[in-house]
A and B are shown apart, each in its own frame.
Chain A
Amino acid sequence: MPGDVTLRAVDLSKRYGEVVALDGVSLEARAGECLALIGESGSGKTTLLRCFNRMTDPDSGRVLVDGAEVGSLDPIALRRRIGYVPQEGGLLPHWSIGRNVSLVPWLRRMTDRAERGARALVLVGLDPAAFAGRKPRELSGGQRQRAAVARALAADPDVILLDEPFGALDAITRADLQETFLRLRTELRFTALLVTHDLHEAMHLADRIVVMRAGRVEQTGTPDDLRRAAATDYVRHLLERARVAS
């Protein structure tokens, strides 16, 4: 399944004043792969994610999307071709769901933006006839998060960045959305970078897992690699705590 390298970070460093967010981080994700970034808060996983759509620029190192240095790209154009799902959904509260999910097609001046929005809603399991006209506050938390995923998919991006997308949901709703995500991956074959603090979620959804701690990568590997051979005490401890060690 893995094809060419779609996302690549080489030796990224980033500090905010005294705080080191990234300390020489490298990773790569192949086309169609889902890579989970896992770690505690403050481990640098969100900062790393944000380097790929230039919401953050690293102090040093290289970030490449489809082989192009993102530093040389227009950040606005870059963001419009990368899907993004934040934790709280980030739907615009004063816009209807239909308008929200058509946001990126609209920004890209696509003529079929309404159809694209409706198609994306169908993909995530929301009936456009019932939901397109509603405001975000009229939806449940799970429905809002589905709409946020639909918004990220509406312009058919090759890459999707997800920042703890299911973290704020209750267990049952989260499981439903995780299944939807797996289905969408097989149907659409996008490349995904998924930030999470939940090892179960990472193992369930991702092809490979990048364990981060204090701005550095502790280990990168498939769920099986991690289970079989934890590279450091920290990773072992993480696995034990989550009771997924073999």
Chain B
Amino acid sequence: MLAAAVLAGCVPALAQERAGSRPVIVASKPFGESYLLAEMFAQLLEGRGFRVDRRPGLGATEIAFRAMQGGVIDVYPEYTGTGLLAILHRPPQSDPRAVYAIVSREFRGRWGVHWLPPLGFQNTYAIAVRRETAERERLATLSDLARASGHLRAGLTPDFIGRPDGLPGLAKAYGLGFRSVQALGPAVKYQALAAGTVDVIDGYSTDGLIAKFDLVVLRDDRRFFPPYEAAALVGPGLIRDEPGAVVALTELSGRLGEEQMRRLNRRVEVDGEPVSRVAASALAALGLVGASARPPVAAPSGGQGLGAYLWARHEDILRLTGRHLLLVGVSLGAAILVAVPVGLALERMRRGAETVIRGAGVLQTVPSIALLAFMIPLIGIGVVPALVALFLYSLYPILRNTYTGVRDAAPEAVGAASALGMTPGQVLRYVRLPLAAPVIMAGIRTSAVINVGTATLAAFIGAGGLGDPIAAGLALSDTKMILSGALPAALLAMLVDTALGICERMVSA
């Protein structure tokens, strides 16, 4: 009950307020071009008088599309090839018009989701190598790569390794077989390639980083990769509630060329210009909206030193830390209020206790990002699902320690206390619980530290906190931006642990 009260007290404060006409919820996937396109959508809509709720870097295809199906977001930039293969699970096709026709018909029929006319450029997979590798191995095409692949190490995004139009299909089409394949996050693969840790990576053809690291993109001479035309994907809710917004979004259709896009991406990913400014200037150049930049969620670091960057952002960092602490405090508090009584109850029953505790343990083994993804269709995105996920993650250590701490507390003292006439309730309150208190506190500390770390992932479902600059920094390959979230988070974990350690000493004194 108390847990519910705590939740009820805090959630409204955290949740975005919605008054008057509803805002258009614009999301993106977590990489530079998606951020930029989403920001262009958002500014275009704002320029046409719509209110916008931004969810940048929401999640990869599965998460973003699930959020759209669930009606929690209205629009995000998607690629026709991804729709065909990853969402519809259809075989690849090489004709862009046929692909667009299939996805727009199927998405509308199945989910009421609309593909607006394509923006005008393709961003297909690009297989890239270092220039010296290309020269040494005489690589220009993917057929050349197949010949040399036996002694090359690939570093590919997990997405690419798994999807049929990624590595499995590519390997079959070209007869590729790499010496080793390593899964690398989008944020680190370019660095890994430049540093020589791997020899081949997958990228996107409009990546600005391809130019920055002077990489060679190998030509898809057998036309394996299907067309990936970028377009705005629009959910049924927006079409119903704000048809005007959909019309506004079509103003971008056919206006963005591939060369132009690579230039814009470069400004964001390589030069570190704020996404909002690049989007504003691109829209201005297209004559769509006058220059109007909103303060960015996470400012790129540019050429500043880390200290100067952190100092310049200290107000933002403080605000994000406060938000982070609120996420941790509410979810951990609720977990304590649930897990301690349940642990005590299980100790009284014993039978079945291990099963329940192992159940909570299994929850712990679900990867956090997967748990967050499961949450989307159930409770949407934002603060509430993040709190639920963090709450679930905090249960196990507290439950386990409460149960075993109380069960194993000084058996001879427990035996004597009941033999002298303490009721079971008195034994619990005066003997077991005080003796188990240090063990229970240790469980709470473990949960707290895990929670502070896991809460950084809450940014991926739009709950905010110190994960915001980490997610954005990962997408933009901006180390300083990542550190501006990661360092305070680590510091926070230590502080929380220390504070709880002091509590623990007071409890056991």
Q: Does A229 contact B (CB under 8 A)?
A: no
Q: Does A129 contact B (CB under 8 A)?
A: no
Interface members, chain A 65-121 (any B CB < 8 Å): 76-80, 84, 86-94, 103-104, 107-108
Is the contact region of chain B dominated by helix, strand, or loop, or is it mixed?
helix
In the complex, the answer to whether A86 meets B419 with C-beta atoms within 8 Å is yes
Q: Does B483 contact A (CB under 8 A)?
A: no
Q: Does B423 contact A (CB under 8 A)?
A: yes
Which of A94, A107, A108, A148 has the most chain B CB within a 10 Å cutoff? A94
Cα–Cα, bound, A152→B435 (Å): 22
In the complex, the answer to whether B431 meets A151 with C-beta atoms within 8 Å is no
In the complex, the answer to whether A91 meets B413 with C-beta atoms within 8 Å is yes
Chain B interface residue count, CB cutoff 8 Å, equals 17
In the complex, the answer to whether A90 meets B421 with C-beta atoms within 8 Å is no
Query: Distance (Å) between the CB of B509 and the closest chain A CB?
Result: 10
Contacts of B418 in A (CB 8 A): 55, 79
Q: Which of A89, A94, A148 touches B435 (beta carbons < 8 Å)? A: A94
Query: Distance (Å) between the CB of B34 and the closest chain A CB?
Result: 58
In the complex, the answer to whether B412 meets A86 with C-beta atoms within 8 Å is yes
Cα–Cα, bound, A13→B430 (Å): 34
In the complex, the answer to whether B420 meets A104 with C-beta atoms within 8 Å is yes
Query: Distance (Å) between the CB of A143 and the closest chain B CB?
Result: 16
Cα–Cα, bound, A182→B415 (Å): 26
In the complex, the answer to whether A92 meets B419 with C-beta atoms within 8 Å is no
Chain A interface residue count, CB cutoff 8 Å, equals 26
Interface members, chain A 32-78 (any B CB < 8 Å): 50, 53, 55, 76-78
Q: Does B410 contact A (CB under 8 A)?
A: yes
The closest CB in chain B to the CB of A53 belongs to B419
Contacts of A84 in B (CB 8 A): 416, 419-420
Cα–Cα, bound, A80→B422 (Å): 8
In the complex, the answer to whether A92 meets B431 with C-beta atoms within 8 Å is yes
The closest CB in chain B to the CB of A91 belongs to B413
In the complex, the answer to whether A90 meets B415 with C-beta atoms within 8 Å is yes
Cα–Cα, bound, A42→B412 (Å): 19
In the complex, the answer to whether A76 meets B420 with C-beta atoms within 8 Å is no
Q: Does B417 contact A (CB under 8 A)?
A: yes
In the complex, the answer to whether A79 meets B415 with C-beta atoms within 8 Å is no
Q: Which of B412, B423, B435 touches A88 (beta carbons < 8 Å)? A: B412
In the complex, the answer to whether A79 meets B412 with C-beta atoms within 8 Å is no
Given contacts A93-B410, A93-B413, A94-B435, contact A55 B430 (CB under 8 A): no
Q: Does B434 contact A (CB under 8 A)?
A: yes
Which of B412, B413, B415, B431 has the most chain A CB within a 10 Å cutoff? B413
Query: Distance (Å) between the CB of A117 and the closest chain B CB?
Result: 13
Interface members, chain B 423-465 (any A CB < 8 Å): 423, 426, 430-431, 434-435
Q: List 25 A-B contacts (CB under 8 A).
A: A50-B419, A55-B418, A77-B421, A80-B420, A84-B416, A86-B415, A86-B416, A86-B419, A88-B412, A89-B412, A89-B416, A90-B412, A90-B413, A90-B415, A90-B419, A92-B410, A92-B416, A92-B417, A92-B431, A93-B410, A94-B434, A104-B420, A107-B420, A107-B421, A107-B426
Chain A residues within CB distance 8 Å of chain B: 50, 53, 55, 76-80, 84, 86-94, 103-104, 107-108, 148, 151-152, 161
Chain B residues within CB distance 8 Å of chain A: 410, 412-413, 415-423, 426, 430-431, 434-435
Beyond contacts A53-B419, A90-B415, A107-B426: 16 other A-B pairs, Cβ-Cβ < 8 A, are A76-B423, A77-B421, A79-B419, A79-B421, A80-B421, A84-B420, A86-B415, A86-B419, A87-B412, A90-B419, A92-B417, A92-B430, A107-B421, A107-B422, A152-B420, A161-B419
